[in-house]
Structure 1
Amino acid sequence: MAYSVSEERFDSLVDDALASIPDALADHLGNVVILVRERNEEHHDLLGFYVGVPLTERTHDHTGYLPDTIFIYKAALEDMCFSEEQLAHEVKVTVMHEVAHYFGIEEDRLHELGWG
């Protein structure tokens, strides 16, 4: 069932997903890097992964840290899709899901909101 696209096309799907983040949230998305990788080395089916300290857990002196990182896993997402439309949708859901973790939203709440 895998649907594959070029690295350039996949990057543009990620860019489209990021562009769809409402400005009110995007304005607060700082010091975070979005990286596309083929797969997570330990969990091959993982679609995305957030590494960092969520905004809700930061203290007033949270400075001097490396940027938080959101990983989006191309091959894992392609494996679950059968069309570019579905891939674009799953990329958007994954990007939103990981961005939500940056803002401190937990898994249970993400599932309630439809971003699980």
Structure 2
Amino acid sequence: MPVDMSPERFEELVGEALDEVPVELMSLMNNVVFLVEDLPPGGGDDLLGVYEGIALTERGWDYAGALPDRITIFRLPTLKVCDTEEDVVDEVAITVVHEIAHHFGIDDQRLHELGWA
């Protein structure tokens, strides 16, 4: 059964997950914002998060002036796959790390190899 959680509480958990990311790693992130939405575009319910932008490894001399990359964590799909609030905490942390990894140019295949599916 999906967890019932307010948008405010879910955003707190995303903030807490970001607080757990090492400062050294966060300081390397550049021009990226974090967002929380209820559902992905199109209303799909199996996508927990998404990275949209140009990974640091792909940025060239012509990157200046670009809009910020976006990392979006989706509340309702995350709640759907969790049975307890503790599950939500864990899933949010995994999803945040997964999407941050994309910002650093790490693809899904490598994330799966590393155990961050």
Same fold (TM > 0.5):
yes
Q: Give the TM-score range, shorter chain.
A: over 0.9
| Residue 8 of structure 1: how far off its partner (Å) | 1.4
Q: 1:62, CA displacement in angstroms? A: 1.2
Q: Which amino acid in structure 2 is aligned with residue 104 of structure 1? A: G
Give me the identity figure in percent.
Answer: 47
**Residue 60 of structure 1: how far off its partner (Å):** 2.6
Shift of 1:71: 0.8
Question: Would the aligned equivalents of 1:39 and 1:45 in 2 still touch at CA under 8 Å?
Answer: no
Give the equivalent residue in structure 2 for 1:14.
14
Superposition TM-score, scaled by structure 2 size:
0.94
Corresponding residue for residue 25 of structure 1? 25
Whether 2:98 is the aligned partner of 1:107: answer no
- Greater helix share, 1 or 2? 2
Runs of 4 or more, structure 1, over 6 Å off, are none
CA distance in 1, matches of 2:4, 2:97: 21
Distance in 2, Cα, partners of 1:77 & 1:10: 10
Q: Is 1:90 aligned to 2:91, yes or no? A: yes
- RMSD, matched Cα: 1.0
Aligned to 2:40: 40
The 2-side partners of 1:15 and 1:114 are apart by 23
TM-score (norm 1): 0.95
Gap runs ≥5 in structure 2: none
For structure 1, list consecutive stretches of 5 or more residues without a partner in the other structure.
none
Amino acid in structure 1 at the alignment position of 2:16? D
Residues 51, 69 of structure 1: 8 Å contact kept: yes
Q: Kindly tell me the number of residue pairs found equivalent between the two proteins.
A: 116
1:3 corresponds to: 3
Task: Report deviation, 1:4.
Answer: 1.8
Please state how far the C-alpha of 1:51 moved relative to its aligned partner: 0.4
